[in-house]
Amino acid sequence: MINLDLKNAVDKAIAVAPDKRVLPLLFEDEAYFVKRKMSNGRNAFAKQDTGAAFWCEVCKIMTVNQYYPLAPEIVLLDENYFVMRSVGKTMQGVAKEAPWESCRLHAFRKVGESLARLHECGLHHGRPALRDIAYDKETDRVTFLDWENEKKFIDADPRVLDLFLFIHSCFRERFSRHHRELIDEAMKGYVASPVGRQIHREARALIKRLGTAFGLVHSLRRFGWTDVTSLDDAKAYLLGMETESV
């Protein structure tokens, strides 16, 4: 049954911040996030239309949670927004902020394991960047956020693209001098799964298949563009990673 008090609280929060697409909300001492059916303004050219992206996200979240609770729990669904429970700190924060120092390596390993678990179900995220993955210290759980990305820019298993985009996002952040160690830890968690090892092998095969394009990326490194440099780093990392021994 719909919680009308929660709905009223959401409607008030939206009225106060009509231009915000994602709003944190505290209701009866519980933390929530509201995500509205609104364009995020980024990459508009590559995105689906706003309504399609919204329903795609709702549908993916519900599908994933039938297998494992790897997506946020939706507690209220409206035609124009959904409300989900807050699921902790994004991995960008976990990687950089002091309170997470003691559980940082553990959290990264857990992220790798969770991505593998998603892939074991035959599912994928679409763009598992560090800002869209959260860790909750209290419950020791990893949750993937922001399921609206469904861009198929390369003919490959979308799980291979997930793995690639995750590593790319780690290199893109260059969050700390330990960032290499954190990536290693995540990958240990990922390839502990036979499906993870298979996807890693497929990622390597894809890199080889696209050798010319990656060669071009490598030659563009000298310009120092972050996305290009991180792509080249992600490629080198995946090729150098020993699937069986990590």
Ligand X SMILES: Nc1ncnc2c1ncn2[C@@H]1O[C@H](COP(=O)(O)OP(=O)(O)O)[C@@H](O)[C@H]1O
Q: CA 10, CA 31: separation in Å to the nearest integer?
A: 12
- Nearer to ligand X (CB atom), residue 145 or residue 234: 145
Using CB under 6 A as the binding rule, the residues of this chain from 59 to 118 that contact ligand X are 72, 84, 86-87, 90
Binding status of residue 132 toward Mg ion by CB under 5 A: yes
Binds 67: which of ligand X, Mg ion, none (CB < 5-8 Å by kind): none
- Nearer to ligand X (CB atom), residue 87 or residue 170: 87
> Are 184 and 246 in contact, with CB atoms under 8 Å apart?
yes
Kindly state the helix (H) or strand (E) to which residue 27 belongs, with its residue range. Answer: strand 22-27
Distance in Å, CB of 244 to ligand X, minimum: 34
Query: What count of residues does the chain have?
Result: 246
Binding status of residue 146 toward Mg ion by CB under 5 A: yes
Binding status of residue 173 toward ligand X by CB under 6 A: no
Using the Cα atoms of residue 156, residue 162, residue 163 and residue 168 in order, give the sign of their dihedral.
positive
Q: For residue 183, what are the CA distances in angstroms to 112, 140, 170, 194, 211?
A: 9, 19, 7, 19, 24
- Nearer to Mg ion (CB atom), residue 107 or residue 130: 130
Using CB under 6 A as the binding rule, the residues of this chain from 175 to 214 that contact ligand X are none
- Nearer to ligand X (CB atom), residue 22 or residue 59: 22
**Cβ-proximal residues to 172 (8 Å cutoff; 6+ apart), any chain:** 129, 226, 227, 230
| Selection from 132, 159, 166 nearest residue 146 by Cα | 132
Contact characters 3-42, ligand X, x per CB under 6 A:
------------------xx----------x-x----x--
Kindly state the helix (H) or strand (E) to which residue 142 belongs, with its residue range. Answer: strand 141-144
Site of interaction with ligand X (CB under 6 A): 21-22, 33, 35, 40, 72, 84, 86-87, 90, 131-132, 134, 145-146
Site of interaction with Mg ion (CB under 5 A): 132, 146
